[in-house]
Amino acid sequence: MRLEFYKYQGTGNDFVMVDNRDLFFPKQDVKLIAYLCDRRFGIGADGLILLEDDPEHDFKMVYFNSDGNPSTMCGNGGRCLVAFANFLGVIANKASFNAVDGTHTATIQDEVVSLQMNDVLEVIEKPNSFFLDTGSPHHVQEVENLKALNVNKEGAKLRYGLYGATGSNINFVEQQSANSFSVRTYERGVEDETLSCGTGVTAVAIAMHNSGKTKSNEVVIHAEGGDLKVHFDNDGGYKKVYLVGAAKLVFKGEIEC
């Protein structure tokens, strides 16, 4: 099969995008998806996303981790898919799409995508950390000297040791100002540190607000791949949660597979 693909990135979180409105892509082929995401033998990406038709929305998002398996919601992937849909002419500047965790709405202006995330009604406090679900499960833990932290080692230790086979994404956080934080994330399914994680950034912003570390309803998060903003309403839970940042086309191509 000769596959046409597009490569997108959102603050360094990169994805192989495929227009699958004709439903030609073999979604059950785990090895193929892992091969396409492989950085040495394939295209290279943190995940693969299919854009498909949806009867009730502008399009459907089908997301796979780089290990080839279907996964939970990906915030940066969702933002990149909105940019891809805009590029294809599927949408203009507004979108409503179906994802694994339900309906999302978004707007796009130039390369900046504002994506509405799910409401978060529960933040679980653990010893020295928090756990919450922002479409994907996230552990949020404050640390000192984030830059020097061995994220792969410490992230894997928590991902497997604390959360078992199902696992959780692991976020390490350091406060920078009254409403800004730096974060580094170990992602399950990728089993490595990624330059950015949209659902992780969202989880960090909410966890830090819930803990009183910030009183702002708009939080700036410095990921390794760039800055993202999260804003929300806090009235009986976290609602109208938006993840905002750039989503860019890197290149397009064809690959034999």
Q: Does residue 7 contact residue 17 with C-beta atoms inside 8 Å? A: yes
Question: Mean pLDDT across the chain, nearest whole number?
Answer: 97
Per-residue pLDDT band for 165 (boundaries 50, 70, 90) equals confident
133 and 111, same structural domain?
no
Same domain, 34 and 83: yes
Burial status of residue 70 (CB atoms within 10 A of its CB: 0-12, 13-18, 19 or more): middle
Residue 127 has pLDDT above 90, yes or no: no
What is the domain count for the chain?
Answer: 2
Catalytically active residues, by annotation: 74, 197
Contact between 30 and 37 (Cβ < 8 Å): no
- Do 12 and 73 fall within a single domain? yes
Q: What is the CATH number of the domain that holds 9?
A: 3.10.310.10
pLDDT confidence bin for 111, thresholds 50/70/90: very high
The helix/strand count (H/E) of the chain reads as 4, 17
Query: Are 173 and 88 part of one and the same domain?
Result: no
- Residue 166 confidence (pLDDT) above 90: no
CA distance 134 to 201: 10
Task: Find the domain containing 105 and state its range.
Answer: 2-117+246-252
Give pLDDT, residue 131.
97
Q: What is the mean pLDDT of residues 152-161?
A: 94
> For residue range 218-236, what is the model confidence (pLDDT) as tens digits?
999 999 999 999 999 998 8
